[in-house]
Structure 1
Amino acid sequence: MKEVMCMSNIEKLIYPQNGKRKNIFFSGKGGVGKTSIACITAVQTSKKGFKTLLITTDPAAHIGNVLDKPVMDEITKIDGVENLYAVKIDQRKATEEYKNAILEDARKKFDINTVKAMEEELNSPCTEEMAAFQKFIDYACEENFDVIVFDTAPTGHTLRLLELPLDWSKQIQLKAGLTAEISEADKAQKERFDKVIEMMKDKETTTFSFVMYPEKTPIIEAYRASKELETIGIKTQLVVVNMIIPEEQAITPFFKNRRNMQMKYIEEIKERFKEAEILQVPLFEKEIKGLKMLTQISKILFS
C-alpha cells in the first residue's frame, strides 16, 4: 500500500495510515451534496494510487450520474480512472435475498405454520434495514481495497443503519425459532457485525464526516446526529461545508448578503464541531458531473 508523506490534517483523514485501510463515511441531510463529495474524494484517493471502492447505501443515490459512468449492484471498475471501483446497494434485491435465505433455512427446520409466521414477521421495514445492513457489512469487510468511501443515506436512515447491531438479537431469535439454538453461521455473522462497528470506532481506520451547507437546519441536524453517534462510540472527525459562495462572486447586494450569512454559519459550525477538521467547498457554476470535473475539483480541495 502506498504511503503518503507530509500530509495535512484533512489528507490524513482520507488517506490510509500505517498500512491500514481507510474507511470514509459521508452523511448528512438530504440534498446537501453527499454524493458529489463522496465521488470527489474517491477520485482523489484513487488518483493518489490507492485502490478505492465507492459505495452508496442511499436508495435514491445518483453516483452513476455524478461519475457519468454506469454503477451496478455488483462491484464495477470505473473506466477512465485507475484504481476506482463503485457499487450501489439495491435494497429491494438485498431484501429478497435476505428473506429467501432465512426462509429456505427455516423450511428445513420447522413446520409450515412456523414458516408462515416467520414470513409475516419478515414483511417489515426492519427486515429491509437488516438486509441493507448485511450488504453494507459484506462490503465493509472487503479486503481488496485500500480505501472505501461510503455515500450514505440521509442522516436518520444512516443512524438507524449503524444502530442495527443493537437489535441483532431479535433477528437471531427470529431465525432460530423459539426453541432452536443459535447457529454457528449466525454467531459468525454477529462477529462480523461487531468487527465492523469496532472498525468504525477506530479513528485511525475510519473517518466519519458530515456534509452540510452553511444554513441553520443542516447544521442542527448534523450536530444532533453527531451527538447520537457519540453514544455508540463514533466521533465526527471531518465536516464538509458545501456550496459556499466564492468571495469574488459576491459582487451584488444579494450575493453579498448570502455570503455574509454563510460566513456567520461557518463560525457556528466551527464552534459546534470543535474537534473536527473543516473542509470548505465552493459553489460551482456548473453541475458537478463527470470524471474530468471531479478530478479538477479534487485537486482544488485536497492540494
Structure 2
Amino acid sequence: MTQYLFFTGKGGVGKTSLACATAVAMADAGQKVLLVSTDPASNLKDVLESDVTERITAVAGIQQLYAININPEYAAEDYRNRVIAPLEGIATAEELKKIREDLSGACTTEIASFDEFSRFVSGEAEEGAFDVIIFDTAPTGHTLRLLELPAAWSSFTEENPEGASCLGPTSALKSSKERYHTVVERLRDPSCTTFYIVSRADKASLKEASRTSDEIRALGMTHQYLYINGVFKALSSEDVLAQKIEKLSREQLEALPANLKLLESKEFPLLPYNVLGIEKLRSLFDETLQKSIAETVAIAQREASPLQLENIVQLTESLSAHQQHGLIMTMGKGGVGKTLAASAIAVLLAKKGFEVLLTTTDPAAHVQDFIDQLGALPPTLTVERIDPKIETQRYTEKIVNQKGKDLDEEGKKLMLEDLKSPCTEEVAVFHAFSKAISKARKKFVVMDTAPTGHTLLLLDTAGSYHRDIMRNMLNADRVKTPYMFLQDPELSKIILVSLPETTPMREAASLQNDLKRAGIQPYAWLINQSLSMVPDITDPLLKSRAHAETEVIRTIQSEHAQRTYGIPFIAEKELLLELLKQHE
C-alpha cells in the first residue's frame, strides 16, 4: 500500500464512500490515516457522520482517522493574503484593494485549492506524521485539471519571470516551484501513489473511467486500480425491472473498455441501505457485516402505490408556457442525470417548434452520447459544446489579433507566454459561456453544466465580471451582464437535478442556498431515476430502496422545491430514446 491514495472517477459513482471505507479499514488496521477532500462540493461530513472542517480534525467514533476539507473560498482568501503580504507598506491602500479585487476570480480559487492540495503531497501541511493520506477528489475533469497544474505553473514561472496574471505577480508563485516538482514526482512514483478509478457498471461512467485512466497514464501516473461500485444482483426472478437492471450491468461489464481490462479490479454490490456512518462504511469490505446490517433494514413488505410526480413533458410545457426564448440550466451533483435532463428538455422544446440550442460546460461532455441515440435531430435543434481547449485557442488568437498587431516580435512573444497561464482557460470558457447566454435572448438555450463545484467557479467568474463592469463602466446601468441574466427569473430557469437519495438531496439543497445568496432562484427540482415512480416492483432490494426514496422526495417537496418533477428509473442502454418513447 502506497502512502498517497487517490479516488477519482465520474461524479456520483461512489468515490467518497469508497475513499471513506478505505480510510476506515486502514485506521482499523492500526494505520494513522488522513482523509482529504479536494472537491468544492464535498460531502465527507455526511458520509463519516462527523464534523469535517478546513482544519485537520479527528473523526468521531474511530481511532487513528483524521479528515479535512480543502475549502476553496478559505484557500483563496489565504492565498490572497500570502500574495498581498509582501506588498504591504510598499503599495498604497488603493493599489492593495485593486490587487485583492483582481484576485477574486475563479482561477484564483482553483490555483489556491491546488496550492493547499500540493502541500499534503509534499509533506508541508501535515500536522503530525500520517502513514497514509487518502484523497477524495473532485469529479474527473476538475481533478485532471488539478493534476495538470503543477507542470503548467512550473512552465509558466520559468518562461514568464516578469509576468503577472489574475493570480498576482508571478514572483508570488516562484516559492512553490520546487514543491510542484516534488508533487509531480510523487504522483508519478508507483511506490508513492496509487490511483483508484471508481465507476458504476454503466456505459457513461465506464467510458469516463477509461478516459481518466488514459489521461492520468499520459501524465505519467500509471499505478492504477479499478473499482466497480453498486453492482446489482436481482433477488427476485419474477421482477422484470430487476432482471433488466442485472442483465444490463453484466453486459456493460463484459464490454469493459480494453484499457480497463488491463487493470486489477474489484466489484462492490448495490446495498439496500445508504452507506453513512462508520459501521456501514466498514461493511463495504465485509460481506458478513453487509448481511447483518441488511437484516436490520426495514424491507418494505406492504404494497404501496407508485409515487406520482409530474413528468419531464409537463416540466417542458411549464418552461415554455409564457415565453419563446430563454436560458434553461440543469445543475446538481455529478452523476445525478443533468445531461439526460438537459437533452430531453432540448429535444421536447424543439419538437414543439421552438428554436433551441443545446450546449454543455462539462469538460466530460456526455451530451453527444445522448444525442447520438436519436438518429436524426429535430430541425430546430442545434447542439454545441463549450470545449475548454478549443475555446482557449480561440480566445488566445482573438487577444493576439486585437492587442498584438502593434507589438514587435519580442512583445508578441511575451504576450503568448502570458497567455499560457492556466487561468487563460477559465477566462476563455467564461467568454464562451457568456456568448451562449446572450443567444437566449432570441431562442431557448439549454445548458448542461459541469458538476457542482466547477459550475460554482464559473458563476463566481460571472459575478467577478459583473462587479468589474459595474465598477469601471460609465453607463453600467445600460449593460446586462451574464450575472444579471442569471438573476432574472423571466430570462433564466435553473433546474436542480437530484437522485432520490439523502446525499444528492443535501448537495442540491446546498447548491440552492449558494444560488439564492447570489440572487438566483432555482425554478424547479427534477428527481431522476426514481424507483418509487415505477409500478409493480417485487424485488426485495429494489422495494427497500424505493421505500427509502419516498421520504427523501417528500422532504424535497416540503422543504426545498417550489416545483418538483420526476423521471422514473429506466433500465435501458439508450436512456434518452427510452425516456422520449415513454411520452410519445
* Smaller-chain TM-score bracket: 0.7 to 0.9
8 Å CA contact 2:234–2:242 kept in 1: the answer is: no
Deviations 1:194-233 (A, max 9, x none): 1111111111221111111111111112211221212211
2:230 and 2:253 map into 1 onto residues whose CA distance is 12
Counterpart among 140, 146, 156 of residue 161 in structure 1: 146
Task: Name the counterpart of 2:187.
Answer: 200
Of structures 1 and 2, the one scoring higher in RCO (CA 8 A, sep 6+) is: 1
| Structure 1 counterpart of 2:129 | 144
Contact 2:190 2:223 in 1 (8 A): no
Q: CA deviation at 1:81?
A: 1.2
Alignment check: 8 A CA contact 1:65 1:289 kept: yes
Structure 2: distance between partners of 1:30 and 1:88: 17
Q: Distance in 2 between matches of 1:124 and 1:250?
A: 55
1:137 to partner: Cα distance: 1.3
**Residue equivalent to 1:291:** 278
Query: Does residue 75 of structure 2 align to residue 94 of structure 1?
Result: yes
Matches of 1:69 and 1:205, distance apart in 2: 29
Q: Partner of 2:84 in structure 1?
A: 103
Per mean C-alpha deviation after superposition, the further-off stretch among 71-80 and 246-255 is 246-255
Does the CA-based 8 Å contact 1:94-1:132 persist in structure 2? yes
| Contact 2:151–2:184 (8 Å) recurs in 1 | no
Deviations 1:106-131 (A, max 9, x none): 34555778756644542332211110
* Pair 1:39-2:24 in alignment: no
TM-fit CA distance, 1:97 = 0.8
* SS in structure 2 of the partner of residue 209 of structure 1: strand
Q: 1:127 to 1:237 in 2, by over 3 A?
A: same
Could you tell me whether the CA contact under 8 Å between 1:210 and 1:236 is conserved in 2? no
Cα distance in 2, alignment partners of residues 198 and 249 from structure 1: 51
Shift of 1:177: 5.0
Q: Counterpart in 2 of 1:209?
A: 196
**Normalised by the size of structure 1, how large is the TM-score?**
0.83
**1-structure distance, mates of 2:59, 2:203:** 36
Report Cα offsets for 1:139-192 as digits up to 9, x if no partner: 22237111111000000100111111133158758x97559x986x85552111
The aligned counterpart of 1:11 is none
The answer to whether the 8 A contact 2:231-2:268 is kept is: yes
Is 2:63 the partner of 1:78? no
Alignment-mate amino acid for residue 275 of structure 2: I
Provide Cα deviations, 1:13-48, integer angstroms capped at 9, x if missing partner. xx34xxxxx211011111111111111110011111
Whole-angstrom CA distance in 2 between matches of 1:250 and 1:74: 50
Distance 1:137 1:249 in 2: 49
Instruction: Specify the code of the residue in structure 2 equivalent to 1:34.
Output: K
Structure 1 runs of 4+ aligned residues shifted over 3 Å read 106-121, 169-173, 175-179, 185-188, 247-251
Q: What is the TM-score when the length of structure 2 is the normalising length?
A: 0.44
Q: 1:246-261, aligned counterparts within 5 Å?
A: 246-248=233-235, 252-261=239-248
Structure 2 CA distance for partners of 1:99 and 1:257, relative to 1, 3 Å = same
Match of 1:61 in 2: 42
Partner of 1:8: none
Pairwise CA distance, 1:275: 2.8
Q: Would you say the 8 A contact 1:91–1:131 is kept in 2?
A: yes
Partner in structure 2 of residue 227 of structure 1:
214
Structure 2 distance, partners of 1:107, 1:177, is 20
Please identify, of 107-116 and 28-37, the stretch whose mean Cα deviation from structure 2 is larger.
107-116
**Separation (CA, whole Å) in 2 of partners of 1:71 and 1:283:** 26
CA 1:97–1:289 in 2, change beyond 3 Å: closer, same or farther?
A: same
Q: Match of 1:273, SS?
A: helix
Are 2:220 and 1:239 aligned? no
Can you list the C-alpha shifts for 1:65-118, whole angstroms capped at 9, x where unaligned? 111111111011112211111111111010011012102223455577875664
* Aligned counterparts of 1:83 and 1:116: Cα–Cα separation in 2: 43
**Counterpart amino acid of residue 35 in structure 2:** L
CA distance in 2, matches of 1:262, 1:156: 25
Unaligned 5+ segments in structure 1 are 1-14, 17-21
The answer to whether structure 1 residue 28 and structure 2 residue 9 are counterparts is: yes
- SS of 1:298's partner is coil
Conserved 8 A contact 1:24-1:148: yes
- Given that 1:250 and 1:259 are in contact with CA atoms closer than 8 Å, whether structure 2 keeps it comes out as no
Larger Rg: 2
Using the TM superposition, give the Cα deviation of residue 260 of structure 1 relative to its aligned residue in structure 2, in angstroms. 1.4
Change (3 A) 1:114 1:230: farther
Contact 1:270/1:278, CA 8 A, preserved across alignment: no
CA 1:108–1:169 in 2, change beyond 3 Å: closer, same or farther?
A: farther
Native 8 Å contact 2:8 2:136 kept in 1: yes
1:237-256 deviations in Å (ceiling 9; x for gaps): 11111111125466522111
Residue in structure 1 matched with residue 103 of structure 2 by the alignment:
122
Corresponding residue SS for 2:267: strand
Does the CA-based 8 Å contact 1:59-1:89 persist in structure 2? yes
CA 1:113–1:169 in 2, change beyond 3 Å: closer, same or farther?
Answer: farther
Task: Provide the C-alpha distance between the structure 2 equivalents of 1:91 and 1:67, rounded to a whole number of angstroms.
Answer: 21
Classify 1:204/1:65 alpha carbon distance in 2 versus 1 (closer, same or farther; 3 Å). same
After superposition, the Cα gap between the structure-2 partners of 1:249 and 1:285, relative to the gap in structure 1 and judged at 3 Å, is: farther
Aligned to 1:263: 250
RMSD after superposition: 2.8
| d(CA) in 2 for partners of 1:103, 1:133 | 19
